[in-house]
Structure 1
Amino acid sequence: MCASTHWLAAATAQSVLERGGNAFDAATAGAFVLHVAEPHLNGPGGDLVALFATAAGAAPLVLAGQGHAPRGATIEHFRAEGLDRVPGAGALAAAVPGAVDSWLWLLAEFGTWELTDVLAYAIDYAERGVPVVPQLARVLATVEELFRTHWPTSYALWMPGGQVPQPYGTLVNPVYARTLRRLSAAGVGGTRTARIDSARRIWRTGFVAAAVAEFVATPHRHSSGRDHAGVITAADFTDFVPSTEPTVTAEFRGITVAKAGLWSQGPVLLQALTMLDQFDDEQIDPSTAGGIHTITEALKLAMADREAFYGHLDPADAETVIRRLLSPRYSKERAGLIGPVASTAFRPGDIGVTPYTPPLVTGQRGVRADGVGEPTLQQTGETRGDTCHIDVVDRWGNIISATPSGGWLQSSPTVPELGFALGTRLQMTWLDPAAPARLAPGRRPRTTLSPTMLLRNGRPVAALGTPGGDQQDQWQLLYLVRTLALGLDPQEAIDAPAFHTTSVPSSFWPRTWRPAGLVIEERAGRAVIDELRERGHDVTVSGPWSQGRLSVVTRDPNTGVLRAAANPRGAQGYATGR
């Protein structure tokens, strides 16, 4: 079974499975198609976080495809550029790309297919074209003036003939196709693994790294409104190595929920679940105003802890922080702070570590300053870019949940020789040495990418995730409450009305927050919305089908029965299998 945010990725992954490939072959092929089909949501210059488990029965692992800050990305350099925050768009905000090398590593280590066969799908779509989904057309229309005035290489690629592509037209990217063909041709060696490793070396040390380093050295317009040069060099590419690490877990209603560590926002979901585990099912029902209130207040507390304590910490420090954040005593203490009225305070907890308080800049209700590379939702629920997701489970029981992102076409100027842009993940760091998520060379930025795996008695039973920046774990929390506590079917849980809080400093430029802010789909109903306002929530009502792009695959270890579900919002998500 396969499920993804775009039908072409899901169909590609399923094609690989039908031809005998395993889940890791399928997910890799689908991910490269996502670069072509959803270039406004992810790209080769971006990153990924994945959770995967093999049919052999070992514990699931986190694939950390999040690149680190380049050697020249220092707080002092950014301050010298006149910046008090890392820009949301422009190559100065680029972390070292981690997506491509990480997918190829996964393919080499756990896949079975040749690189040439895996890349053939994306090459074909890049050369022959993909449909322009309406959201992509809207993003391109938004950045048309920026591209025309300041980013001419992006204008040349994405506005062919000087025209903004229209919905349902066809868009090609022959330059990226050539890049993939060169990588494929670079795969030489006596074994399948050696051939993939050869292509990986070319990515890190060859034409890709050289072209990026040369191009970004020229100053270009950033979301700061000024021109800056990037600092990433060819040497920075060689520093990145994909890695795996154990998951962080918590129990909820008898199910083990597995996430990435404190360098992601994954523990937010675990913290919220341990708080909600203190309540009865009816008290956390997200179809009621009381349930929405309780869930929202728990998320605010978990998100406050994210800002205060999360970051790419030393392993020993990270283990200590996680243990304290997820301890039963702390969870019960935090749950006790949830009162009948919406809180407007920033309330990190006491875990014996000095909490960091970020700059708390209030954003206007219903308005967001555009950072061009902004990948999250506007307060109205309208999207201007986002992220992607893909889940795959195969007949043998291999399973993966992956959230690729970064390198959006609107994040920084297109590198003309390569057909893609760099990401801007460094915008999630603070230019403050005291911050746990501070900018530092060689250090991963904290990321919002946050796939999930569920286990019963130690065996994987589901892989899921969603795009959405700061909303990723909020929307996944709704799914878990609805399926694990209330017994909804996966598709029912995905389809049900969604909401999220904005009462947290945004991970994205310009990093504002809206205390007591709550954005909710209008399908929640007038009575529920009115009661939430009475409880003190600053409610913005979004469109009826406007929030969340969640997908999931499931497997019953006892019977081997597979299931999948995908998001109907935007008419792009797709689940398939047999």
Structure 2
Amino acid sequence: MNSFTTRPEIVGTHGVAAATHWLAAQTAMGVLERGGNAFDAAAAGGFVLQVVEPHLNGPGGEVPILLWSEDERRMRSICGQGTAPAAASAAAFRRLGLEQVPGIGLLPATVPGAFGAWLSMLREHGSWPLADVLAPAIGYARDGFPLVPRAVQAIVAVQALFREHWPSSAAVWLPGDRVPAPGALFRQPQLAATYERLVQTAEREGGGSRTGTIDAALRTWYQGFVAREIDAYYRTTKVRDTTGEAHAGLLRYDDIAQWQPTVEAPLTTDFGRYTVAKCGFWSQGPAFLQQLGMLRHAGLEQHAPHTEGFVHRIAEAAKLALADRLAWYGSAPGASREAQQALLADDYLRQRWQSAGDAASRQLQPGSPLGIAPRLPDLDAALRTLRTADTRFGIGEPTFAALPPVSEWAEREVFVGDTCHIDVIDRHGNMVAATPSGGWLSSSPVLPSLGFAISTRLQMTWLDEGLPNSVTPGVAPCTTLSPSLALRDGEPYMVFGTPGGDQQDQWSPAFFLRHAVHGMNLQEAIDAPAWHVDHFPASFWPRATTLNRLTAESRFAPEVLDALRARGHDVQVGEPWSEGRMSACSRERDAQGRLVLRAAANPRGMQGYAVGR
């Protein structure tokens, strides 16, 4: 008998979808019901997420996508992470007296890559016209959607910033100079008008074909009125940011016009029957693969998922992998492709695992692939920055760790490092996993002529010269965004992922291992008590370093938490349902060769949902 789950694992044959917001999941399922494929459905759901989770992503953000094409019988990775502006050099930031890229405002902008990534997938693999794919998002923006409590929480937290310094954001998010009520229908008419104008322009210039219209839409966004409006605002407007001063932006028309999403084969590693695929070293995704490579040697089958042996082993593997992320991941000239590939070699990972012991590691220990000594950034820059920084309006993340006093309900419901996620599988077996983020409402001011904000992902780079993730003109920052795709016995099997910043490639491996090693179904593996470690400099401004902290849900048995403390972990006990926002969809053939689809979604936060039939 399976144990109790908060909701059923969805089983169907026509299609399944799971997402961090019920409206996105249901939008995707609606597309499947009307004959669209998984790529049409994921794109439509992704655009809806921009509207209904505005505190966690937006049209000016980014998205990495992993997909399986049943026609092509292959996996692809789409990099929708935009690049740094041409003017965004370490020297430029240091001339401003900065040691870190700010967490909010105009200075940390990258090219908004989400639109290009979604349309690249839609053009090559979809079947629906652009207008039909965008119609649900336009409808919710124009006619209204229920504003979830966490979005209101984000508005409450930054309302003073909006009123005093970001009037264009106040005009959108404080209508009538009032904080919106949780659950009330909320409209974004300017955003709806922008997307309607884009569709009309693309249809007029697209030559009447589906792909021609999509190409015209890409030109309109990256070389047309959208790019021009961004350029004008970032060139002429100065706004308050985390420095406590007002700065203009560095992003320009040419930066946007020259950018294109990249499509490549994902990185993979084997774990028993499974082959797990992740995005490249421009993301933190390889940290998942490194953990699997280490944990092949950890005997996890001997440690049940609710035990300290299971938690300790995965936590120590995460510490080692994320230390390697700090030293070796990125796409700047300081990155070594040979060293990065060596990070995934079995010999290297076996040696890394041998360095993990029975006691919790208290040291940040990056490895030396190919015998090359690691070089780390100046981690004390965060402490120096905080001496003069303005932290009144939160930190660089889409949700907030430290804030001015707000209402009691807002203070209780704090998740750090959230974003969005969506998974879709259609009746043909096509699969999509995507993790949209960036351009959230508190990241940067709303562009008044467009109705949305631009990503601040550049805060994830370092100003130290010569590192793999040094801020570099024309180079994308290494992102935390990290969807997942898995094969089983060589056949496409599962797409999954979670929001969570630095926690994404901790919650996802733990979920996967509960399922792959211990046989939990998708919903059981999501519902099970979860945890994360902090043992690295945070990816978001101000990038403070925490070591050896393990935060676990209070649903773990007290004796398990005590055993983890006895191993040396600095255990912090969180709320019972506070760790993770996983969603997942899977596919497999039954004895008759029929495709059986499954889906599950996270109950934490009471907004993720899985649907299917």
The answer, yes or no, to whether TM exceeds 0.5 is yes
Matched residues in 2 for 1:546 and 1:153: separation? 33
Paired letter, 1:424: T
Matched residues in 1 for 2:544 and 2:301: separation? 33
Partner of 2:357: 339
Q: Secondary structure at the match of 1:51?
A: strand
Matched residues in 2 for 1:362 and 1:495: separation? 38
Is 2:83 the counterpart of 1:60? Answer: no
Q: Secondary structure at the match of 1:442?
A: coil
Partner of 1:210: 228
Aligned match of 2:544 in 501, 512, 517?
512
In the TM superposition, residue 139 of structure 1 has moved relative to its aligned partner by 0.7
Paired letter, 1:148: R
Q: Secondary structure at the match of 2:233?
A: helix
Matched residues in 1 for 2:548 and 2:401: separation? 16
In the TM superposition, residue 327 of structure 1 has moved relative to its aligned partner by 1.5
In the TM superposition, residue 434 of structure 1 has moved relative to its aligned partner by 2.3
Aligned match of 1:307 in 326, 338, 344?
326
Matched residues in 2 for 1:518 and 1:363: separation? 21
Structure 1 stretch displaced more, 480-489 or 210-219: 210-219
Q: Secondary structure at the match of 1:455?
A: strand
Partner of 2:90: 75
Matched residues in 2 for 1:446 and 1:80: separation? 23
- CA, structure 1 residues 292+86, in 2 after alignment: closer, same or farther (shift >3 Å)? same
Q: Secondary structure at the match of 2:25?
A: helix
Partner of 2:288: 269
- CA, structure 1 residues 560+329, in 2 after alignment: closer, same or farther (shift >3 Å)? same
- CA, structure 1 residues 552+567, in 2 after alignment: closer, same or farther (shift >3 Å)? same
Q: 1:217-256 maps to which residues of 2 (within 5 A)? A: 217=235, 218-256=237-275
Paired letter, 1:190: G
Tell me the matched-pair count: 575
Paired letter, 2:261: P
Aligned match of 1:260 in 262, 267, 279?
279
- CA, structure 1 residues 377+525, in 2 after alignment: closer, same or farther (shift >3 Å)? farther
Matched residues in 2 for 1:219 and 1:316: separation? 33
Aligned match of 2:494 in 462, 467, 487?
462
In the TM superposition, residue 359 of structure 1 has moved relative to its aligned partner by 2.9
Aligned match of 1:496 in 528, 533, 554?
528
Paired residues of 1:16 and 1:26 also in contact (CA < 8 A):
yes
Matched residues in 2 for 1:537 and 1:106: separation? 43
Paired letter, 2:377: P
Partner of 2:453: 421
Partner of 1:375: 398
Paired residues of 2:335 and 2:468 also in contact (CA < 8 A):
no
Paired letter, 2:250: V
In the TM superposition, residue 253 of structure 1 has moved relative to its aligned partner by 2.1
Matched residues in 2 for 1:297 and 1:330: separation? 16
Is 2:146 the counterpart of 1:131? Answer: yes
In the TM superposition, residue 287 of structure 1 has moved relative to its aligned partner by 1.1
Paired residues of 2:532 and 2:552 also in contact (CA < 8 A):
yes
Is 2:199 the counterpart of 1:164? Answer: no
Over the aligned positions, Cα root-mean-square deviation in angstroms equals 2.0
- CA, structure 1 residues 131+45, in 2 after alignment: closer, same or farther (shift >3 Å)? same
Paired residues of 1:88 and 1:222 also in contact (CA < 8 A):
yes
Is 2:178 the counterpart of 1:143? Answer: no
Paired residues of 1:307 and 1:356 also in contact (CA < 8 A):
no
Partner of 1:191: 209
Partner of 2:135: 120
Partner of 2:167: 152
Is 2:386 the counterpart of 1:386? Answer: no
Matched residues in 2 for 1:413 and 1:304: separation? 34
Matched residues in 2 for 1:369 and 1:346: separation? 30
Paired residues of 1:376 and 1:469 also in contact (CA < 8 A):
no
Matched residues in 2 for 1:523 and 1:183: separation? 48
Aligned match of 2:343 in 310, 325, 345?
325
Paired letter, 1:348: P
Partner of 2:11: none
- Percent identity between the two aligned chains: 50
Once the two structures are superposed, what CA deviation does each residue of 1:518-549 show, in whole Å capped at 9, x if it has no partner? Answer: 11111112111122122221121111111111
- CA, structure 1 residues 262+553, in 2 after alignment: closer, same or farther (shift >3 Å)? same
Paired residues of 2:417 and 2:499 also in contact (CA < 8 A):
no
Paired letter, 1:561: V
Matched residues in 2 for 1:251 and 1:361: separation? 37
Structure 1 stretch displaced more, 382-391 or 289-298: 382-391
Paired letter, 1:395: R
Matched residues in 1 for 2:266 and 2:513: separation? 21
Q: Secondary structure at the match of 2:142?
A: helix
Matched residues in 1 for 2:118 and 2:334: separation? 24
Q: Secondary structure at the match of 2:494?
A: strand
In the TM superposition, residue 286 of structure 1 has moved relative to its aligned partner by 3.5
Partner of 1:6: 21
Unpaired runs of 5+ residues, structure 2, are 1-15, 404-412
Is 2:112 the counterpart of 1:97? Answer: yes
Aligned match of 2:307 in 288, 304, 314?
288
Paired residues of 2:112 and 2:455 also in contact (CA < 8 A):
yes
Matched residues in 2 for 1:143 and 1:204: separation? 30
In the TM superposition, residue 382 of structure 1 has moved relative to its aligned partner by 2.2
Paired residues of 1:90 and 1:221 also in contact (CA < 8 A):
yes
Paired letter, 1:236: D
Paired residues of 1:371 and 1:509 also in contact (CA < 8 A):
no
Unpaired runs of 5+ residues, structure 1, are none
Is 2:394 the counterpart of 1:359? Answer: no
Paired residues of 2:395 and 2:541 also in contact (CA < 8 A):
no
Matched residues in 2 for 1:143 and 1:241: separation? 33
In the TM superposition, residue 435 of structure 1 has moved relative to its aligned partner by 1.4
Matched residues in 2 for 1:316 and 1:125: separation? 42
TM-score by length of 2: 0.91
- CA, structure 1 residues 369+270, in 2 after alignment: closer, same or farther (shift >3 Å)? farther
Paired residues of 2:395 and 2:540 also in contact (CA < 8 A):
no
Structure 1 stretch displaced more, 529-538 or 242-251: 529-538
Paired residues of 1:375 and 1:469 also in contact (CA < 8 A):
no
Matched residues in 1 for 2:155 and 2:275: separation? 41
Matched residues in 2 for 1:534 and 1:480: separation? 26
- CA, structure 1 residues 285+302, in 2 after alignment: closer, same or farther (shift >3 Å)? farther
Once the two structures are superposed, what CA deviation does each residue of 1:404-444 show, in whole Å capped at 9, x if it has no partner? Answer: 10000100000001110011110110001121101011101
Once the two structures are superposed, what CA deviation does each residue of 1:230-269 show, in whole Å capped at 9, x if it has no partner? Answer: 0101111111111201111111122000001111001100
Matched residues in 1 for 2:351 and 2:242: separation? 41
In the TM superposition, residue 363 of structure 1 has moved relative to its aligned partner by 9.0
Q: Secondary structure at the match of 1:503?
A: strand
Q: Secondary structure at the match of 1:554?
A: strand
Paired residues of 1:494 and 1:566 also in contact (CA < 8 A):
yes
In the TM superposition, residue 72 of structure 1 has moved relative to its aligned partner by 0.9
Aligned match of 2:576 in 544, 549, 552?
544
Aligned match of 1:407 in 427, 433, 439?
439
- CA, structure 1 residues 379+233, in 2 after alignment: closer, same or farther (shift >3 Å)? closer
Matched residues in 1 for 2:334 and 2:36: separation? 35
Paired letter, 1:470: D
TM-score by length of 1: 0.96
Paired residues of 1:497 and 1:521 also in contact (CA < 8 A):
yes
Q: Secondary structure at the match of 1:486?
A: coil
In the TM superposition, residue 379 of structure 1 has moved relative to its aligned partner by 9.5
In the TM superposition, residue 375 of structure 1 has moved relative to its aligned partner by 2.8
Is 2:34 the counterpart of 1:19? Answer: yes
In the TM superposition, residue 104 of structure 1 has moved relative to its aligned partner by 1.4
Once the two structures are superposed, what CA deviation does each residue of 1:438-476 show, in whole Å capped at 9, x if it has no partner? Answer: 101110100000000001233210000000000001000
In the TM superposition, residue 385 of structure 1 has moved relative to its aligned partner by 6.2
